[in-house]
């Protein structure tokens, strides 16, 4: 990998970062996204010259026609919208500053960096006259950070056309050293599924009154007891799924002591691991069960007034084994004990787990090992949401992986301060996507 190649890549990515494509709910002015479309055309001219282009309300769908129309196509995804970037950044968040061996800016990891890498790989192949064996589609939404309307719309249109994909690859896990405590190795964490996202409102009511003469079980007290029970008791079912068991099996050789032997036989020791994993880390525990986090609250408007109505908002991420309906039923059962009403503000989208033994997963594994020799690929379940959940309508193999090698600090910078990607990771990321497109 030449320094010149890395420097050129950094400069190109920097230009994309400088486009302030911040999205928000119910956005009507889409001019920033259409300007970004033009920037992509200018940046990747060879790819756009060989692709069919479709606009979906600011979202992009490209089709690169392959040689064999009977072979199932593949779909590569990364969104081009980003979240706001407030706070004291080391470098301005939309400057695309290149410094200290990194490219800084909002979207470098989430996920203009991934969008750049997949389009750069395809553009270089197209410039060399390469034609893929099967059709290759590229999708990029403009509202993934909010309501994901465009990805939903695109997936429904693909379904209507009867198109199915052998592989869908979206953002997700990355290349990490010690993905959880004690795993002394570098792993490519490949998401084979993601938990569903549900927003819920929990409301407690009363007749109100003056704070000088409070009765028992006022709304805020009931809400407090309800939240404490949800947090303190395991109201959701824990289960060690096959992908998580396989992840632990692959991690086991890098662990020390008796735990290594237990993880190597994770399927046999599932009852033990279901108790131990939440103690390793919150992320490890979240792979086993539905989670419910309370994020917002409202009581009375006066300091000395008992509220007639108080509520809290909860964000729930549902496990695959309990699903949306089962998880909602479990929390409603607890809410009823405290006379609390439950309202679903945003429904979840149940998307299935993909098979880590599939040829699609093996292709991603081979691409990882080619781009990052010595790295161990491992399946896992994402606790966050991606646009690829909608593509389960058109593929049995929706995988989630972003081919950048990152530190813990860089992971924490996503949606935070000083988001950045290493310049040294840019060339391997392009090579990864080239491998996928060539289907090696």
CA distance 36 to 16: 8
| Nearest in space to 34 (alpha carbons), one of 59, 66, 14, 9 | 59
The reported pLDDT for the residue numbered 2 is 54
Report pLDDT digits (tens) over 137-151. 999 999 999 989 999
For residue 136, the cross-strand partners are 64, 74
pTM of the shown model: 0.93
For residue 63, the cross-strand partners are 52, 137
For residue 313, the cross-strand partners are 201, 296
The reported pLDDT for the residue numbered 1 is 44
| Nearest in space to 105 (alpha carbons), one of 85, 126, 135 | 85
Residue stretches of the chain with pLDDT short of 70: 1-3
The CA-atom distances, in angstroms, between 119 and each of 1, 32, 138 are 19, 20, 8
Report pLDDT digits (tens) over 176-195. 999 887 888 999 999 999 99
| Nearest in space to 122 (alpha carbons), one of 162, 65, 172 | 65
The reported pLDDT for the residue numbered 429 is 98
Q: Which two tokens stand for residue 355?
A: 């098979």
CA distance 273 to 148: 35
Peptide bond into 111 cis (omega under 30): yes
């Amino acid at each position: 990998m030449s320094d010149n190649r890395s420097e050129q890549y950094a400069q190109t990515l920097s230009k994309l970062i400088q486009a302030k494509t911040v999205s928000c709910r119910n956005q009507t002015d889409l001019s920033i996204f259409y300007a970004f479309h033009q920037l992509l055309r200018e940046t990747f001219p060879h790819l756009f010259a060989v692709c069919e282009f479709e606009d979906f309300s600011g979202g992009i769908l490209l089709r690169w026609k392959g040689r064999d129309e009977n072979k199932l196509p593949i779909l590569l995804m990364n969104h081009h919208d980003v979240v706001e970037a407030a706070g004291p950044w080391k470098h301005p968040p939309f400057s695309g500053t290149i410094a200290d061996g990194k490219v800084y800016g909002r979207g470098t990891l989430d996920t203009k960096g991934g969008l750049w890498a997949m389009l750069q790989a395809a553009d270089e192949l197209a410039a060399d006259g390469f034609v893929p064996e099967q059709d290759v589609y590229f999708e990029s939404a403009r509202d993934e950070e909010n309501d994901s309307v465009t990805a939903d719309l695109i997936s429904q249109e693909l379904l209507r056309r009867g198109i199915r994909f052998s592989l869908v690859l979206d953002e997700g896990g990355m290349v990490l050293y010690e993905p959880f405590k004690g795993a002394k190795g570098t792993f490519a964490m490949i998401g084979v599924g993601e938990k569903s996202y549900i927003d819920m409102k929990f409301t407690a009511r009363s007749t109100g009154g003056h704070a000088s003469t409070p009765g028992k079980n006022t709304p805020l007290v009931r809400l407090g007891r309800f939240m404490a029970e949800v947090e303190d008791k395991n109201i959701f079912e824990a289960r060690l799924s096959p992908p998580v068991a396989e992840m632990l099996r692959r991690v086991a050789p890098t662990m020390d002591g008796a735990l290594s032997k237990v993880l190597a036989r994770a399927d046999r020791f599932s009852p033990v691991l279901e108790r131990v994993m939440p103690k390793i880390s919150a992320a490890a525990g979240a792979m086993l069960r539905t989670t419910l986090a309370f994020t917002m609250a409202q009581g009375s408007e006066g300091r000395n007034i008992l509220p007639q109505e108080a509520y809290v908002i909860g964000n729930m991420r549902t496990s695959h084994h309990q699903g949306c309906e089962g998880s909602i039923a479990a929390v409603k059962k607890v809410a009823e004990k405290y006379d609390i009403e439950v309202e679903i503000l945003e429904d979840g989208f149940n998307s299935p787990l993909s098979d880590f033994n599939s040829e699609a997963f093996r292709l991603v594994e081979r691409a990882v090992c080619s781009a990052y020799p010595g790295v161990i690929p491992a399946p896992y379940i994402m606790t966050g949401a991606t646009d690829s959940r909608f593509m389960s309508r058109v593929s049995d193999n929706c995988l989630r992986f972003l081919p950048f090698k990152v530190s813990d600090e860089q992971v924490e910078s996503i949606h935070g301060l000083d988001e950045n990607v290493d310049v040294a990771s840019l060339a391997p990321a392009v090579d990864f996507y080239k491998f996928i497109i060539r289907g090696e």
